[in-house]
């Protein structure tokens, strides 16, 4: 059996089969590897964008514009939201405005590494068309698209982390951080004052004698009023509290203002941060694919 297996005929047969299988695997990999798949997508771009660098840049620019629509909508929605600005500061708004600024970096990078040459065209002698050196373009794509990805993932992740932390502090640890502790202290101060002024709270607290002098922090008192009226809640850290600035009948039973605020802040953070992180991951994936694309 061993002599038969070692014969030249069997070895040649095995080598032939091995080469055949290797060729089949190589052809399959060439058809599904990232650069080939991206080539199929790019080669089917509208208005022959893959054949003209100007049109390719226009396509990338239109994609960038599409990715900035949602951050700009979030900016317009939350720029006047006093709760987002009070608890999260200006960071979410800056992140929304950052996206339109950094997302155009791939176009800028391609322009910097662009060179012109004369294309052979018998009908239009001296016709100028733009082309981008492949090696340089691949580096530009990887660097500039990577910068966009890092900025978006970092900015969106920061908003998600900050909003989740604030929401947790409001819902689970209310009064333990300086901001919520100051609001809770002011609420307790006004609650005691209101009980002495009107035990059944039939008279608005603002009409109680000495209300202005009892308020320790006017800004916080006004904020408490805004929160109560907007979220139809009562108390701040305390559950089942009586409202200060509106009728009890308008309050949903058990609706605590800190809990309502925490849910609002969490929703705002997710609305802003999550789509921006997705944009960053998409740019990272496309940048890695373009870095392997040989037809830039």
How far is Cα 83 from Cα 228, in angstroms, rounded to an integer?
A: 12
- Give the residue carrying structure tokens 């059996």: 1
What is the model's pLDDT at position 122? Answer: 47
Task: Give residue-wise pLDDT tens across range 189-216.
Answer: 998 988 888 877 778 888 888 888 888 8
Confidence of residue 52 (pLDDT cuts 50, 70, 90): low
Distance CA 185, CA 231 (A): 20
Q: pTM of this prediction? A: 0.74
Phi then psi for residue 26, to 5 deg, are: -65, -40
Cα-to-chain-centroid distance, residue 229: 30
Reply yes or no on whether the pLDDT at 130 is more than 90. no
Q: Which residue has the higher pLDDT, 155 or 37?
A: 155
> In this predicted structure, what is the pLDDT of residue 129?
52
What span, in angstroms and rounded, lies between the C-alpha atoms of 43 and 59?
Answer: 12
Q: Which of 74-78, 138-142, 214-218, 253-257 has the highest mean pLDDT?
A: 74-78
Distance between CA atoms of residues 136 and 192, nearest Å: 71
| Residues in contact with 42: Cβ distance below 8 Å, sequence separation at least 6, in sequence order | 49, 50, 293, 295
Q: With contact defined as beta carbons under 8 Å apart, do 57 and 296 qualify?
A: no
């Amino acid at each position: 059996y061993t002599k038969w297996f070692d014969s030249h005929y069997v070895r040649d047969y095995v080598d032939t089969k091995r080469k055949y299988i290797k060729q089949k695997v190589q052809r399959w990999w060439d058809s599904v590897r990232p650069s080939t798949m991206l080539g199929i997508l790019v080669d089917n771009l509208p208005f022959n964008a893959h054949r003209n660098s100007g049109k390719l840049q226009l396509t990338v620019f239109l994609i960038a514009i599409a990715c900035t629509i949602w951050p700009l909508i979030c900016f317009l929605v939350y720029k006047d939201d006093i709760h987002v600005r009070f608890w999260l500061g200006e960071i979410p708004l800056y992140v929304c405005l950052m996206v339109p600024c950094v997302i155009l970096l791939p176009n800028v990078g391609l322009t910097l590494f662009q060179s012109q040459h004369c294309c052979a065209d018998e009908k239009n002698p001296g016709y100028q068309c733009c082309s981008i050196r492949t090696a340089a373009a691949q580096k530009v794509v990887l660097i500039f698209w990577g910068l966009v990805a890092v900025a978006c993932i970092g900015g969106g992740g920061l908003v998600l982390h900050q909003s989740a932390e604030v929401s947790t502090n409001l819902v689970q640890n209310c009064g333990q951080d300086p901001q919520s502790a100051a609001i809770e202290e002011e609420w307790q101060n006004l609650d005691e004052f209101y009980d002495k002024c009107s035990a059944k709270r039939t008279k608005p607290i603002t009409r109680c004698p000495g209300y202005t002098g009892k308020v320790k922090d006017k800004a916080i008192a006004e904020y408490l009023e805004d929160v109560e009226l907007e979220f139809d809640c009562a108390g701040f850290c305390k559950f089942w509290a009586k409202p200060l600035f509106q009728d009890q009948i308008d309050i949903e039973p058990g609706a605590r203002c800190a809990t309502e605020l925490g849910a609002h802040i969490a929703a705002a953070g997710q609305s802003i941060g999550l789509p921006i992180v997705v944009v960053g991951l998409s740019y990272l994936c496309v940048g890695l694919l373009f870095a392997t694309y040989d037809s830039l």
